[in-house]
A and B are shown apart, each in its own frame.
Chain A
Amino acid sequence: MARTSNTAKIYLALIFIILYAPILYLIFYSFNSGGSMNNFESFTWEHYAAVFSDTRLIMILINTVIVALLSALIATIIGVFGSIGIVYMRNKSIRNSLLSLNNVLIVSPDVVIGASFLILFTMIGVKLGFASVLISHIAFSIPIVVLMVLPKLQEMNSSLIDAAADLGATKGEILRRVIIPFIKPGIFAGFFMALTYSLDDFAVTFFVTGNGFSTLSVEIYSMARAGITLTINALSGIIFIVTILLVVGYYFINQRGKNPVGMGVRK
């Protein structure tokens, strides 16, 4: 076994190096006082300073966070109520077709979602910009919330609800004091996944964002098309730290809920 385990270690180490090298490479050059990603001249914070002094970029950053938080919150609310409705649906065939429809947006290619939403918004007359981006993010986050919450609901013993009802709890009380506390880990996981979906999205936003509004992904795309600017590197350093914090947070939520890690990784 010792022989295989050595090659195994080397192979795994190689995979980890390849996975992390580009990210570390980006962050490394964010401290480069030279203007490029190949000659490291001397250490500087100037690119980080550039990020924070660029009001347009800061606005875009704030926009991105607002869209992510709002869309995750609304998607979680709609998704949780939707899954409660689905779980207590008696008609099995309607329930199953609802579940298949739920998964359509998860498996659809981003480009198709973006293009079809663009048609939809143009048709019903939603102005392209903040509203269209927010609505799209809510729309593609709902199914993942449902997928995270449903297993928790199915795990729940229905006699808990019967017991609460027998003891005189009203519908609202059952929801607030029995169902919601029980499925809380699923709700948190769903909210978190919706958040990362929104922060990570490029293609859908690219289609439905108008001229005046931009999120970070779209902005990075147009900056990267124009060439290398170390401001992007500094941005990625900041994003990396935030992502690590979010992942650690998610990990602890998952540990508490004892779900398998990374159940809903972004496709």
Chain B
Amino acid sequence: MQTKNTKTFYLIPYFAWILLFVIAPIALIAYYSLFDLSGNFTLDNYKNFFTSIYLKLTLSSFWYAFLITFFSLIVAYPTAYLLTKTKHKQLWLLLIIIPSWINLLLKTYAFIGIFGLYGPINAFLNVFGFGETQILFTDFSFIFVSVYIFIPFMILPIFNALDKLNPSLIDASRDLGASSWTTFTKVIFPLTTNGVKAGIQAVFIPSLSLFMITRLIAGNKVITLGTAIEQQFLVTQNWGMGSTIAVFLIIFMVIVMIITGQREKGATSNGKN
């Protein structure tokens, strides 16, 4: 009996945390989404969400998130692959991760200068005879900065997956006469899909909800679901509509997680290879 008491005692603060900060907030978001500005119970927020403004916003948010994830993957996979081939690979990996620990705001702020009208990129373009171009506040700058921010989170899981790959599988494939391309598409990539999925998960969901980068780099031109939520909560003070968008964001998140979800058993048996 005494054992049981101590165990429950350990768990009390943790349970309180789960109730207050995991379950209650989600419930509150769902609850608030059912009220309009003046506090009347209504389903109008949901109706509004299915009007063209919000559907367009959702679509464009998905499109940007897709582009960001896609380019992150294209850059990250070769990087992770080459990292596993280096000597002292853990040290190199650490060097990749360090920038992700520098405050996000500072990195974004740096790009305001770099992409600015008189910044180094424009100076560089000038050498080749291009006039000063507005790079800041364009789709390009938004996607570039986002990819820059998310790259380490894509590299890490892919690196871990590649690192666990048994090198004798690659040798076997080569011995059996497969070209390096065939080895990659038939052996290496299929065995590291779990890492790729984890990376996609780590990039796609935050990309949907970015709002700081859109404000600073895209100058309000790009509106994501995150920007819309921030707008509703902190600017127009329409918590009901903001909550409704948040409800949909949560639903999208769950869908993405199901799609990129890893079958635990498969993952561990692959990992042990």
Contact = CB atoms under 8 A, between A and B. Distances in A.
B249 A111 contact: yes
B59 interface: no
Given A200-B103, A265-B152, A265-B153, A119 B239 contact: yes
B82 interface: yes
Contacts of A169: none
A171 B29 contact: no
B118 A36 contact: yes
B152 to A, nearest CB: 6
Nearest to A97: B18
A22 B85 contact: no
Interface of B: 2-3, 6-8, 10-11, 13-14, 17-18, 20-26, 28-29, 32, 75, 78-79, 82-83, 85-86, 90, 92-114, 116, 118-120, 123, 148, 151-153, 156, 160, 201-202, 205-206, 208-209, 211-212, 215-216, 225-226, 229-230, 233-234, 239, 242-243, 246, 249-250, 253, 257
Given A139-B17, A217-B104, 16 more contacts: A5-B85, A25-B120, A109-B253, A110-B206, A110-B209, A111-B230, A116-B246, A119-B25, A119-B28, A139-B21, A171-B2, A203-B212, A220-B106, A247-B101, A251-B94, A265-B97
Interface of A: 5, 8, 11-12, 15-16, 18-23, 25-26, 29, 36-39, 77-79, 81-82, 84-86, 88-89, 98, 101-102, 104-105, 107-113, 115-120, 123, 139-140, 142, 171, 196, 199-200, 202-203, 206-207, 216-217, 220-221, 224-225, 228, 232, 235-236, 239-240, 243-244, 246-247, 251, 260-262, 265-267
29 contacts: A5-B85, A12-B92, A15-B79, A37-B119, A38-B120, A78-B14, A81-B11, A82-B11, A85-B10, A86-B11, A105-B21, A109-B226, A111-B230, A111-B246, A112-B249, A115-B242, A115-B246, A119-B25, A196-B101, A200-B103, A203-B212, A206-B230, A221-B212, A225-B215, A236-B106, A244-B98, A246-B101, A262-B97, A265-B152
